[in-house]
Structure 1
Amino acid sequence: MTDKQQLFCIYYIRCFNATKAYQKAYECDYATAVVAGPRLLGNVRIKEEIFQLKQERLNREFLSETDIFQKYMDIAFADVTDFVEFGNEEMEVILDTGEHKTITVSHVNIKNDTDVDGSIISEVSKGKDGVKVKLADRMKALQWLSDHMDLATDKQKAEIALLKAKVQTDDEEETADDGFLEALQGSAAEDWMDEEN
């Protein structure tokens, strides 16, 4: 493997873009890199080197594929109640007339930073309407998980299956079939047959 091919591999594991990696390694224009980069990425020795570098990088950062998979699971299945508490509460107020009155007030309280996984939060901002907490993109995490199910441990696969089953059960409870429609269709078919005879 040449020095430039080695450099291409190093740049590639930083950006995961063959065109950019080729441009930096070979110091060429975009038009050349857009053709040559993906072609070089198809080389078996290059693929092996990239895989080895990725493994070294994971080991160096003390991350395993299982850790990464778990983080995406955490993002995909995060619950807003892990980060905020909300609801209604009774509050006593004193009117201008001096009269005491109890009213219901909605509230949202953000949990302390020591009580939440901040790595799942992508943004916290305070505006005129209050504080906004934005979580990492759940749909991207779900897509990544579906693309990388082969990296999941048996335990993680079981957790995902359990979560899927829970979602399906919740959906089925909303649209539970008590057999009424099927009985009605059967009855209607018999009625049609009677009319034809």
Structure 2
Amino acid sequence: MTDKQKAAYEDYMLGMSYADIAAKHDISVNTFKSWKRRNGWQRGAPPKKKVHSKSKGAPKQIPEAVKELEANSELTEKQKLFCLFYLQDFNATQAYMKAYKSGWKTANVNGSGLLAKTSVKKQLAELKERQKTDLYVTAEDIAREYAKQAFASLGDVIDYKVHTELVTDNDGNVLLDMNDNPIEKHVSDIYLKPSDQIDWSLVQEVHRGKDGLVVKLFDNQKAKAELMKYLKDNKADGDDVTINLIRSDRRNKDGNQRESGQPD
């Protein structure tokens, strides 16, 4: 409602007649009647408010892990809760405290015992396997991405051409050398490679700035540091750890990707 309508409504609720309200607010009686009818004003009752019905959203989808636990008749309800909490951070003590509402001392003893229980161990193994299947990513997948970033260069993303232009003065006149020959200069045109030739997972940012194209790759020094950390953590018995790095720009004649290091 407008300020004038609100003021007219207040006068109406105080018992003023239609004519007095119309005269006070410089409107016609019919205009006031229209406001009254449209807003549902009634003396002795608050104005009607529009009620917006809430549309029911789609029912919440129950995670597959919960469905699987509900179907397990070998576990108690608290044991099922323990499994769910344990999968969050793999801490048996914390999981027991949350599921059984117990103190740390009790949970520290009983948590490890429950974790060793055959039915619980079996259920957790199945849920862990489901997590791996649903996630479709491993530590090696992440390391492979770091390896790509670590050895990426702008040449993987951009290309350039060189052309010649005549040198002119501010008025557009071509400048001549001492032999009256036009002076030329070499100009480099930098541009992105065709989209289907670019591995966009290497590109953090690309935009056109005031001086031309700006392309920013992910920090290769940071990627190398993370990659070295992965290799160090996974090195066993003094053996070197290798990562199968597939580069998007190395393809055979059939269009299939090949691993780097494979002979051309």
TM-score by length of 1: 0.48
Higher relative contact order (CA 8 A, sep 6+): 1
- Normalized per residue, the structure richer in helix is 1
Q: Given the two structures, how large is their TM-score scaled by the length of structure 2? A: 0.38
Greater radius of gyration (CA): 2
